[in-house]
Homo-oligomer: A and B are copies of this chain.
Amino acid sequence: MTLPYHTPLPPETRDAHGISPEWRYALASKVQFFELDALNHVNNTVYLRWFESFRLSYVMDYGISDFGPTAPRLVVRSLSARFHKEMHLGDDYIVAGRTTSFRNTSFIMEYALFSNGLAATGDAVMVLLSREGDGRHPLTEAQKKALIERDGAKADAG
């Protein structure tokens, strides 16, 4: 089965790779040479770059930022990751992600990485900052609605 890279995967492709239906947005790619470290496997920090690349695409697709000159700055407040298996040159992989909850100016994402089974999991607390200065930038009602309707995200107090 052909795996289309860098393109949101349709439900039947996610199904065929064992990705459960609560992951609505998923992107595939392939391990490149520069992602290996001296142990000849994918370096742990590379998984976090993949989650970041995924996040950029997700955030544009969900209408949270267009990364234009007036868009809010989206920064990582905290993150965690767990590595379930080693990955090697040329391995295909799929990153899936979703927002589990949000507050007025932040949201929490979960990630799962699949490569012939679950290879890693992670999460990140994302904060929206104003383009200028250090102030916070609120999510709009339309953005909150997208997170609730597409991902089943919960509104947190605060």
Contacts and interface: CB of A to CB of B under 8 A. Distances in A.
Interface of A: 2, 4-6, 29-30, 32-34, 36-40, 43-45, 48-49, 52-53, 56, 67, 73, 75-83, 86, 89
Nearest to A81: B79
A86 B127 CA distance: 13
A83 B89 contact: no
Given A6-B29, A80-B78, A44 B37 contact: no
Nearest to A134: B86
A56 B33 CA distance: 7
A75 B86 CA distance: 9
18 contacts: A5-B5, A5-B6, A5-B30, A6-B29, A6-B30, A33-B38, A33-B53, A34-B45, A36-B37, A38-B89, A44-B75, A48-B48, A56-B89, A75-B83, A78-B80, A78-B81, A78-B83, A80-B80
Rank and list the top 7 A-B pairs by shortest CB-CB distance, nearest first.
Answer: A5-B5, A80-B80, A36-B38, A78-B82, A44-B76, A6-B30, A32-B53
Contacts of A73: 39
Nearest to A38: B36
Contact of A79 (B2, B33, B44): B44
Contacts of A32: 49, 53, 56
A136 B52 CA distance: 31
A52 B76 contact: no
Nearest to A48: B45
A30 to B, nearest CB: 5
